[in-house]
Amino acid sequence: MNVVIIDYKAGNTRSVQFALARLGVAAQLRQEAAIIQAADRVIFPGVGAAGWAMEQLAARGLTAVIPALQQPVLGICLGMQLLCAHSEEGAVPGLGVFPTTVRALQPTPLYNVPHVGWNTLAGRQDSPLLKDIPNGSSFYFVHSYAVPTTDYTSAEAVHGSTFSAMLERDNFYATQFHPEKSGALGAKILENFMQLKD
Protein backbone atom coordinates (compact mmCIF):
# COMPACT_ATOMS: atom_id res chain seq x y z
CA MET A 1 0.00 0.00 0.00
CA ASN A 2 1.26 3.45 -0.94
CA VAL A 3 0.93 5.67 2.15
CA VAL A 4 1.97 9.32 2.11
CA ILE A 5 2.38 11.65 5.09
CA ILE A 6 2.07 15.27 3.96
CA ASP A 7 5.37 16.96 4.78
CA TYR A 8 4.81 20.72 4.97
CA LYS A 9 7.21 21.47 7.84
CA ALA A 10 4.33 21.98 10.27
CA GLY A 11 3.70 18.44 11.36
CA ASN A 12 4.96 15.80 13.75
CA THR A 13 5.70 13.75 10.66
CA ARG A 14 8.51 11.58 12.01
CA SER A 15 6.56 10.31 15.02
CA VAL A 16 3.66 9.41 12.72
CA GLN A 17 6.05 7.69 10.34
CA PHE A 18 7.61 5.69 13.19
CA ALA A 19 4.17 4.71 14.54
CA LEU A 20 3.21 3.39 11.11
CA ALA A 21 6.52 1.56 10.78
CA ARG A 22 5.68 -0.33 13.99
CA LEU A 23 2.57 -1.54 12.15
CA GLY A 24 4.67 -2.66 9.21
CA VAL A 25 3.63 0.30 7.06
CA ALA A 26 6.40 2.15 5.20
CA ALA A 27 5.01 5.66 4.72
CA GLN A 28 6.66 8.34 2.59
CA LEU A 29 7.10 11.95 3.72
CA ARG A 30 6.19 13.93 0.60
CA GLN A 31 4.96 17.39 -0.38
CA GLU A 32 4.50 17.03 -4.15
CA ALA A 33 0.87 17.30 -5.21
CA ALA A 34 1.04 14.52 -7.81
CA ILE A 35 2.55 12.04 -5.35
CA ILE A 36 -0.01 12.90 -2.67
CA GLN A 37 -2.86 12.52 -5.16
CA ALA A 38 -1.58 9.10 -6.26
CA ALA A 39 -1.32 7.66 -2.73
CA ASP A 40 -3.63 4.95 -1.43
CA ARG A 41 -3.78 6.61 2.00
CA VAL A 42 -2.88 10.18 3.00
CA ILE A 43 -2.08 11.33 6.54
CA PHE A 44 -2.18 15.06 7.31
CA PRO A 45 -0.56 15.74 10.69
CA GLY A 46 0.15 19.13 12.20
CA VAL A 47 1.51 21.05 15.15
CA GLY A 48 1.94 24.79 15.62
CA ALA A 49 -0.05 27.85 14.58
CA ALA A 50 -2.85 27.61 12.04
CA GLY A 51 -1.90 30.72 10.07
CA TRP A 52 1.71 29.68 9.61
CA ALA A 53 0.68 26.14 8.68
CA MET A 54 -1.74 27.41 6.01
CA GLU A 55 1.09 29.53 4.58
CA GLN A 56 3.23 26.40 4.32
CA LEU A 57 0.47 24.55 2.49
CA ALA A 58 -0.08 27.48 0.13
CA ALA A 59 3.64 27.70 -0.63
CA ARG A 60 3.54 24.07 -1.77
CA GLY A 61 0.38 24.47 -3.82
CA LEU A 62 -1.61 22.13 -1.57
CA THR A 63 -4.55 24.23 -0.40
CA ALA A 64 -6.70 23.13 -3.36
CA VAL A 65 -5.17 19.66 -3.60
CA ILE A 66 -5.99 18.36 -0.12
CA PRO A 67 -9.77 19.04 -0.11
CA ALA A 68 -10.08 17.37 -3.52
CA LEU A 69 -8.43 14.09 -2.49
CA GLN A 70 -10.57 11.02 -3.14
CA GLN A 71 -8.70 8.38 -1.13
CA PRO A 72 -8.97 7.99 2.67
CA VAL A 73 -7.36 11.00 4.40
CA LEU A 74 -6.55 11.23 8.13
CA GLY A 75 -6.01 14.64 9.70
CA ILE A 76 -4.26 14.69 13.08
CA CYS A 77 -4.42 17.52 15.67
CA LEU A 78 -3.69 20.74 13.74
CA GLY A 79 -4.28 18.76 10.56
CA MET A 80 -7.85 18.17 11.75
CA GLN A 81 -8.30 21.88 12.48
CA LEU A 82 -6.92 22.93 9.10
CA LEU A 83 -9.51 20.70 7.41
CA CYS A 84 -12.20 22.98 8.86
CA ALA A 85 -13.55 26.12 7.20
CA HIS A 86 -12.11 28.69 9.60
CA SER A 87 -10.02 29.02 12.75
CA GLU A 88 -10.16 31.60 15.50
CA GLU A 89 -6.41 31.13 15.83
CA GLY A 90 -5.20 34.05 13.72
CA ALA A 91 -8.65 34.35 12.12
CA VAL A 92 -7.50 32.30 9.13
CA PRO A 93 -9.56 30.38 6.57
CA GLY A 94 -9.00 26.64 6.47
CA LEU A 95 -9.41 24.02 3.77
CA GLY A 96 -13.19 23.79 4.14
CA VAL A 97 -13.69 20.02 4.22
CA PHE A 98 -15.62 20.32 7.47
CA PRO A 99 -17.94 23.39 7.41
CA THR A 100 -17.23 24.56 10.93
CA THR A 101 -15.04 27.00 12.87
CA VAL A 102 -12.23 26.02 15.22
CA ARG A 103 -12.67 27.78 18.57
CA ALA A 104 -10.28 28.63 21.39
CA LEU A 105 -10.57 26.43 24.46
CA GLN A 106 -11.57 28.46 27.50
CA PRO A 107 -9.69 27.89 30.77
CA THR A 108 -11.64 27.36 33.97
CA PRO A 109 -10.55 26.92 37.60
CA LEU A 110 -10.50 23.15 36.98
CA TYR A 111 -9.26 23.04 33.37
CA ASN A 112 -6.03 24.56 32.12
CA VAL A 113 -5.30 25.58 28.55
CA PRO A 114 -3.54 24.16 26.65
CA HIS A 115 -5.21 20.81 27.15
CA VAL A 116 -2.27 18.44 27.56
CA GLY A 117 -2.55 14.79 28.54
CA TRP A 118 -4.78 11.76 28.41
CA ASN A 119 -8.53 12.11 28.05
CA THR A 120 -11.37 9.72 27.43
CA LEU A 121 -13.84 9.85 24.58
CA ALA A 122 -16.99 11.04 26.31
CA GLY A 123 -19.32 10.17 23.46
CA ARG A 124 -18.87 8.28 20.23
CA GLN A 125 -20.76 7.11 17.20
CA ASP A 126 -20.26 4.08 15.00
CA SER A 127 -16.96 4.87 13.31
CA PRO A 128 -14.70 2.49 11.39
CA LEU A 129 -11.71 4.09 13.10
CA LEU A 130 -13.10 2.98 16.47
CA LYS A 131 -13.45 -0.69 15.53
CA ASP A 132 -12.31 -2.83 18.50
CA ILE A 133 -11.65 0.28 20.62
CA PRO A 134 -13.39 -0.19 24.00
CA ASN A 135 -15.75 2.47 25.31
CA GLY A 136 -14.04 4.76 27.81
CA SER A 137 -10.65 4.48 26.13
CA SER A 138 -8.18 7.34 26.63
CA PHE A 139 -6.01 9.11 24.05
CA TYR A 140 -3.29 11.75 24.22
CA PHE A 141 -4.23 15.38 23.49
CA VAL A 142 -2.12 18.54 23.11
CA HIS A 143 -4.09 21.59 21.92
CA SER A 144 -5.42 25.06 22.76
CA TYR A 145 -8.10 25.17 20.05
CA ALA A 146 -10.85 22.71 19.30
CA VAL A 147 -13.79 22.03 17.02
CA PRO A 148 -17.24 22.30 18.62
CA THR A 149 -19.48 19.29 18.13
CA THR A 150 -21.06 19.23 14.68
CA ASP A 151 -22.99 16.87 12.43
CA TYR A 152 -19.59 15.45 11.44
CA THR A 153 -18.47 14.64 15.00
CA SER A 154 -17.84 10.92 15.44
CA ALA A 155 -16.39 11.14 18.98
CA GLU A 156 -16.42 13.79 21.70
CA ALA A 157 -14.18 14.67 24.62
CA VAL A 158 -14.59 17.11 27.50
CA HIS A 159 -12.08 19.67 28.74
CA GLY A 160 -14.09 22.40 30.41
CA SER A 161 -16.56 22.07 27.55
CA THR A 162 -17.42 19.32 25.08
CA PHE A 163 -15.52 19.35 21.80
CA SER A 164 -15.01 17.11 18.77
CA ALA A 165 -12.33 14.51 19.40
CA MET A 166 -12.96 13.00 15.95
CA LEU A 167 -14.58 14.17 12.72
CA GLU A 168 -15.66 12.23 9.64
CA ARG A 169 -17.00 13.28 6.26
CA ASP A 170 -16.95 11.02 3.23
CA ASN A 171 -13.30 9.93 2.75
CA PHE A 172 -11.97 12.41 5.33
CA TYR A 173 -11.29 11.34 8.91
CA ALA A 174 -9.69 13.42 11.64
CA THR A 175 -8.60 13.15 15.26
CA GLN A 176 -7.87 15.99 17.66
CA PHE A 177 -5.80 13.58 19.73
CA HIS A 178 -2.49 12.12 18.62
CA PRO A 179 -2.91 8.42 17.78
CA GLU A 180 0.85 8.13 17.24
CA LYS A 181 1.36 9.11 20.89
CA SER A 182 -1.55 7.11 22.32
CA GLY A 183 0.02 3.69 22.79
CA ALA A 184 -1.66 0.49 21.67
CA LEU A 185 -5.09 2.06 21.24
CA GLY A 186 -3.66 4.84 19.09
CA ALA A 187 -1.91 2.21 17.01
CA LYS A 188 -5.28 0.49 16.58
CA ILE A 189 -6.76 3.75 15.26
CA LEU A 190 -3.98 3.92 12.65
CA GLU A 191 -4.44 0.24 11.79
CA ASN A 192 -8.18 0.76 11.35
CA PHE A 193 -7.46 3.70 9.04
CA MET A 194 -5.17 1.55 6.92
CA GLN A 195 -7.89 -1.10 6.64
CA LEU A 196 -10.61 1.28 5.42
CA LYS A 197 -12.29 0.30 2.18
CA ASP A 198 -11.69 2.78 -0.63
Digit-coded pLDDT (tens) for 156-181 = 999 999 999 999 999 999 999 999 99
Predicted pLDDT of residue 132: 96
pLDDT per residue as tens digits for the range 44-87? 999 989 999 999 999 999 999 999 999 999 999 999 999 999 99
Does the pLDDT value for residue 121 go beyond 90?
yes
User: Tell me, what amino acid is at 148?
Assistant: P
Confidence of residue 119 (pLDDT cuts 50, 70, 90): very high
Torsional sign, CA 178, 131, 26, 32? negative
Question: Under CATH, what is the fold of the domain 3-194?
Answer: Rossmann fold (3.40.50)
Task: Give the integer Cα–Cα distance in Å for 66 and 124.
Answer: 26
Known catalytic residues are: 77, 178, 180
Q: Where are the domains of the chain?
A: 3-194
pLDDT per residue as tens digits for the range 11-36? 789 999 999 999 999 999 999 999 99
Asked if 36 and 65 count as a contact pair (C-beta separation under 8 A), the reply is yes
